[in-house]
Structure 1
């Protein structure tokens, strides 16, 4: 019997999104279609051409060669809008392991060993990106530096110290890279006015759109991948574990395997994930100075708290010394209809519209007299996970179908190596437990039920 899942209203990206800084220099593949018509069939169909979808294709091709070195499987990537026009093309460009926010939470819920797997996995992305960019000769403005978590509230600073000491006491290897600074030294070390404490670790920044389009260029050069942009998927029907049909307004494709790299928009095609991966709108902006005005140096990336402990901001300094900063939850968290379960990135979050005006002047030492101003501001739709963990595995109850999503606004230190593990499952038929992914990433029926039966919003609204 054929089963069908139709997309729900308002489950597709809108046609006229705000323009992020990252998409101000468009690549020739931005609206690419490898063929005028959709292929009638493809061994693998990947839904989504952001960081996840393109990375999965890249890893599939790396592991899928015949004796002559030619790809054995055909792959089709379907994208509702342009390449990298979703969350990846709208994020903060921040490659940062979250070692003292999420990891302690996972330790309490799942134990030290499971939490350590996640921490080590995120840390491994620093070296993985270094290696990838070197081997593939990718120009995406990668800078490896340190990331500062800065605390402006004394109680929060004390909690940060306790967290650091608790992690160190567990003997976790990644704690060797964490440095805690408090008191008067915190402001000098971080460059942030009135800092009470800061924690730092190795991190990086990059131009995400350039990374994805560079990888996409590599996979298309093989001839094994057919990219179809401006082609939203409206439903997927399944006749057998190795026989699926992916439907679009331009026709349908028969395939053996389907990969959902749809993140925040997953619920439209997989309604069982409606409570597990919730679309949440965020805001980000690009801050620059007038031409000829030299900005003070900002050497690190940041997570910046607020004095009243009400939200935070993430920030990077680009090689051209302009700033990307986003978050601003303090300004809009109470206006739930502005951000929770929202898929429209065509308008700004109104309470946050002016939040970053004068932000550098009031936050960073040495910026007081500059004319730093918001040059571009945009919104993006993140896939927030009910339990703060991504879903990366085969899909429970749907043979031949796979998911890679729910990154909780934290995809950069998760996606690339997660895609490698998932590609091994898809290509080689390996089980989840055989591909070196953190055990907590597996999408299980138990996780889906917990989200469906748990308190509304889970971690998202906590």
Structure 2
């Protein structure tokens, strides 16, 4: 039976309703070689008190800890509590794709809140990519970072026409960032993208990297500096106000008193913040690594990352690696009807049955020049992502809960968002900076209105699955 988080009828404030990551997750390619700090505990016992407790040691939690400890002259005591190993969740299981959203979901956000609100998101994600590039180069981080072009491909005529219409509408808004986008139709498409049956494609700047290596670089710095107490294999059962002030953070190994708490546990956040159970829903995805016997010699070179949409509109993301291998995943359209296999399901110990063979022969049937290769799946895994009801992350102070903050619900799109989002959240936590004074897009702000909208089911309906790489969580 798939393991699910509590639904509306079972969720409560007690620990019996809490959902946790499973302990025998499928192994991703990124973590075939574990890091010496993957299972680190800074101290044998939990600290009795910490100024700030961060729940989750993935991209969001570790980045927030880094910014908290880096930007303050007198750093507070920080404890990170992680249910499994460092970076064992979605961050260590994704495609390593730093791909800003230039136009995919932006029209939806424009409809909801106007052109400026939509442009804010695209501009923030582009700024995030640039900031990561600068940071990785300055720190000389060995994480295979590459600045490249990402190519959107459409093989369905109707979908291509709609995509061109969206592109034209974005250009008409006169957004400066659209100068980086080139949209192709006609006979040149096949030669530009190399995808069989392509009828349209678009190209813009994006990045790729090895996410696990990036996070572990940050962890090394944090552990070495002694500024952060890292406690792995320590799931948070509950967070409750202490009568004397602050909070009591309960774990199977005891409790930590905290002045402030940051929830960066993404898909699992409803276990400790049940008010988000309809707002951030755990959803499984699938990813794999494809290799050939001699990838560098026998396979055509791919210099770009891709989002491919087949004739039946099945979407896959693809990232080529310097060693000649390919990271590819997605195909949500193939498993969406089998709801119990992926929706509200936190069991990443098993693959999604409906799609686990989809990427067999993918390169041969998709790309010209790959037909005669022996490209095959070398590694396949699944991961659990947190999908928000309205497709935007929840960032900021938890409504009606002073000194509790959230950074979660990234819709399988956290790579182009989290680094700068964590930096801004750190300022909110330590400097009492209001959300409106940050550079965060206004649609990212968590609020009671967003929580209530999801609970009441009043958000506009519609499946965004075919419009991008984020499946809808709407029932």
TM-score by length of 2: 0.93
Q: Relative to structure 1, is the Cα distance of residues 24 and 432 closer, same or farther in structure 2, using a 3 angstrom cutoff?
A: same
Q: 1:388 maps to which residue?
A: 391
CA distance, structure 2, for counterparts of residue 367 and residue 153 of structure 1: 21
| Match among 294, 297, 302 for residue 298 of structure 1 | 302
Matched, 1:192 2:195: yes
Segments of 5+ residues of structure 2 without an aligned counterpart are 1-11, 464-471
**In structure 2, how many angstroms separate the alpha carbons of the residues matched to 1:163 and 1:358?**
32
**CA–CA separation in structure 1 for the residues paired with 2:50 and 2:116:** 40
Per-residue deviation, 1:461: 4.6
Q: Is the 8 A contact 1:387 1:458 kept in 2?
A: no
Whether the aligned pair in 2 keeps the contact of 1:38 and 1:228 (CA below 8 Å) is yes
Higher deviation after alignment, 407-416 or 237-246 = 237-246
Name the structure 1 match of 2:58. Answer: 50
User: Which string of whole-angstrom CA distances, capped at 9 and with x for unpartnered residues, describes residues 288-345 of structure 1?
Assistant: 0014752210111111112022x30011001111000000113211101110000100
Looking at structure 2, the residues matched to 27 and 300 of structure 1 have their Cα atoms a distance apart, in angstroms, of: 29
Match of 1:277 among 276, 280, 294: 280
Shift of 1:455: 5.7
Structure 1 residues 69-91: Cα deviation after superposition (integer angstroms, max 9, x where no partner)? xxx30000000000000000000
Is 2:62–2:215's contact at 8 Å kept on the other side of the alignment?
A: yes
Preserved CA contact (<8 Å) 1:242 1:400 = no
What is the match of residue 290 of structure 2? 287
User: Are residues 1:357 and 2:360 paired?
Assistant: yes
Aligned match of 1:317 in 304, 320, 324? 320
SS across alignment from 1:352: coil
Paired position in structure 2 for 1:108: 111
How many pairs were matched up?
453
1:123 — aligned with what?
126
Match of 1:217 in 2: 220
Provide the C-alpha distance between the structure 1 equivalents of 2:57 and 2:104, rounded to a whole number of angstroms. 29
Cα distance, 1:102 vs structure 2: 1.1
1:52-201 equivalences under 5 Å are 52-66=60-74, 72-201=75-204
Write the distance in 2 (CA, Å) between the matches of 1:124 and 1:205.
Answer: 15
User: Counterpart in 2 of 1:36?
Assistant: 44
CA contact (8 A) 2:151 2:307 kept: yes
Q: Which runs of 5+ in 1 are unaligned?
A: 67-71
Deviation at 1:7, TM superposition (A): 3.5
Partner of 1:26: 34
- Which of 246, 257, 262 is matched with 1:259 structurally? 262
How far does residue 50 in structure 1 lie from its aligned partner after superposition?
A: 0.3
Structure 2 CA distance for partners of 1:455 and 1:313, relative to 1, 3 Å: farther
On the 8 A contact 2:124/2:439 being kept in 1, the answer is no
Map of 2:4 onto structure 1: none
Structure 1 segments (4+ residues) deviating >2 Å: 4-10, 239-242, 291-294, 455-459
Return the offset for 1:221. Answer: 2.0
Partner of 2:420: 417
Structure 1 CA distance, aligned partners of 2:245 and 2:393?
A: 25
For residues 342 and 254 of structure 2, the distance between their equivalents in structure 1, rounded to whole angstroms, comes to 33
Say whether residues 1:14 and 2:18 are aligned partners. Answer: no
8 Å Cα contact 1:242-1:399 kept in structure 2: no
Alpha carbons 1:393, 1:404 under 8 Å: kept:
yes
2:128–2:419 contact (8 Å) kept in structure 1: yes
- SS of structure 2 residue aligned to 1:5: coil
Judge conservation of contact 1:140–1:211 (CA < 8 Å) in 2: yes
User: In 1, distance between residues paired with 2:349 and 2:320?
Assistant: 26
The equivalent of 1:69 in structure 2 is: none
Contact 2:18–2:237 (8 Å) recurs in 1:
no
Q: Distance in 1 between matches of 2:79 and 2:473?
A: 36
TM-score, normalised relative to structure 1: 0.96
How far apart are the structure 2 equivalents of 1:431 and 1:18?
40
Q: Which whole-Å CA distance do the structure 2 matches of 1:407 and 1:360 have between them?
A: 28
CA deviation after TM superposition for structure 1 residue 34, in Å: 0.3
* 8 Å CA contact 1:242, 1:257 repeated in 2: no
Give the CA deviation at 1:435.
1.6
Residues in 2 aligned to 1:362 and 1:48: alpha-carbon distance in whole angstroms? 39
Shift of 1:417: 0.4
Deviates more, 1:233-242 or 1:379-388: 233-242
Deviation at 1:442, TM superposition (A): 0.4
Q: d(CA) in 2 for partners of 1:8 and 1:372? A: 46
In the alignment, the residues of structure 1 paired with residue 34 and residue 94 of structure 2 have an alpha-carbon distance, to the nearest angstrom, of 16
Cα distance between partner residues in 2 of 1:290 and 1:250: 47
Quote the RMSD (CA, aligned, Å): 1.5
